[in-house]
Amino acid sequence: MTVSEFLRAVRRLVVDFVVGRVLTHNGDGAAVEGVDDLTTYYLLHRHDFGLDDAPAGACILYAVSCNLSDAALVDRHDLLARAGGKSAAGDDEEQDEDDATAEVGGGSGSQFRLKPWSQRKRKTLGYDVEGKPAALIDQAHRLMHLWKAGDVVKVDEYLNDRGLRRDALFHQLLQALIELAGAGTEERALLESISNHVVARGVDKPAQPTLFDSNLFE
């Protein structure tokens, strides 16, 4: 193992520990198992910087630790925006690539910030693309758009199609996002409503036949 590979492995252990504590509410971090890279990055960034501007050096370091790049987070995943740029308005315009090669801790002064769920509007958000499963954070944000639109039928269809009612990790993610959202914000209200809806509906179960079910005697 090279020095760079060793350092990357150490950084990933630290990332997994921090994100595990976010998901388990200061638990032992075991719940981080199975969390995809994009969701891991989101939770790490949101935990440390919220939705405020964050230094590019730290964002690049976090991205590398999650097997991602800042350029991919901006362009491909639509998760980051360059602070102060046109992308802050949620536009899908071509991004400036100059900051992508900035060294960690460099003096460029460039910054990034997480895009709020409301600005992530790509049609593919929350859906599998080219055989790659959608990240959990993308699925949560898709559900928030569906819930905001008031279409409970589509919410239930999405939950059932993705098997999210039975996904314990998704339940933990919803709770973590609620804790990270600001009190009294629309984001928190939507997440709480979705979480309550999922719990209220429970896990889908097949109807149990009764003694007087005529189908039993056919």
Q: Which residue has the tokens 């189908």?
A: 215
Maximal C-alpha separation, the chain: 79
The residues facing 81 across adjacent strands are 113
Task: Look up the domain containing 74 and give its range.
Answer: 1-115
157 part of a folded domain: yes
Tell me, yes or no, whether 16 and 76 share the same domain. Answer: yes
Tell me, yes or no, whether 58 and 158 share the same domain. Answer: no
- Dihedral (CA of 63, 141, 127, 166) sign: positive
Tell me, yes or no, whether 69 and 137 share the same domain. Answer: no
What's the pLDDT score for residue 8?
56
Angle at which helices 186-201 and 152-162 cross, to 10°: 70
Tell me, yes or no, whether 79 and 124 share the same domain. Answer: no
Does 107 have pLDDT greater than 60? no
pTM: 0.74
Tell me, yes or no, whether 121 and 88 share the same domain. Answer: no
**Average pLDDT rounded to a whole number, residues 15-22:** 65
Domains identified in the chain, total number: 2
Tell me, yes or no, whether 75 and 125 share the same domain. Answer: no
**Average pLDDT rounded to a whole number, residues 82-97:** 46
What's the pLDDT score for residue 32?
57
Tell me, yes or no, whether 40 and 29 share the same domain. Answer: yes
**Average pLDDT rounded to a whole number, residues 152-161:** 96
Tell me, yes or no, whether 39 and 88 share the same domain. Answer: yes
Last residue of a domain, one of 55, 84, 115: 115
Tell me, yes or no, whether 137 and 77 share the same domain. Answer: no
208 part of a folded domain: no
Q: Sorting pLDDT into bands at 50, 70 and 90, what band is 35?
A: confident
